[in-house]
C-alpha cells in the first residue's frame, strides 16, 4: 500500500488543490453522463445565441451547469465509494446510487425548466 503524502501548506496547498480539482475534472470527463450534460449546456448556449437571449439567461444557465457538474461529481464519488465498500449486490448500495441519480435528475430538470423559461420570456417580450 502506498503511504499517504504529507499535506501541503501555504501557497503549495493552493497548487495542490488545483491539481486535485483538475484530476476530478479528468475523472468526471470519463463519465458518459457528464459528457452528455456538457453537450446539453453547449447546445442550450448555442440556442440562446441564435435567438439573442438576454445575458441573465446565459448567467442562469452557466450557474445551473456548474451546479449540475458538481452534483454529478458527488454522485460519481458516491458510486465509486459504494462500489469499493460493497463489491457484491447490496440494497443499501442501490439506495445510495439511486439517491445520487435522483439528485442529478432534479438538476437536469431545473436546467430544462430554466432553458424553457428563458426562451419563453424572450419570445413573449419580442411579441409585445
**Cα dihedral 68→72→73→79 (10° resolution):** 160
Closest-CA residue to 114 (of 38, 58, 36, 34): 58
Angle between helix axes 11-29 and 55-85 (nearest 10 degrees) is 80
Closest-CA residue to 58 (of 67, 69, 47): 47
Closest-CA residue to 94 (of 106, 84, 103, 86): 86
Among candidate residues 72, 79, 80, 91, the one labeled active-site is 72
**Is 72 considered catalytic here?**
yes
Q: Where in the sequence numbering do the catalytic residues fall?
A: 72
Amino acid at each position: 500500500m502506498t503511504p499517504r503524502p504529507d499535506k501541503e501548506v501555504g501557497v503549495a496547498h493552493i497548487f495542490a488543490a488545483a491539481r486535485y480539482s483538475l484530476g476530478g475534472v479528468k475523472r468526471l470527463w470519463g463519465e458518459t453522463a457528464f459528457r452528455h450534460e456538457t453537450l446539453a449546456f453547449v447546445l442550450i448556449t448555442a440556442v440562446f445565441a441564435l435567438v439573442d437571449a438576454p445575458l441573465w439567461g446565459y448567467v442562469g444557465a452557466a450557474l445551473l451547469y456548474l451546479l449540475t457538474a458538481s452534483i454529478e461529481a458527488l454522485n460519481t464519488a458516491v458510486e465509486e465509494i459504494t462500489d469499493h465498500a460493497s463489491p457484491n449486490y447490496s440494497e443499501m448500495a442501490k439506495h445510495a446510487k439511486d439517491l445520487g441519480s435522483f439528485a442529478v435528475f432534479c438538476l437536469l430538470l431545473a436546467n430544462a425548466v430554466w432553458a424553457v423559461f428563458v426562451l419563453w420570456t424572450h419570445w413573449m417580450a419580442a411579441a409585445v
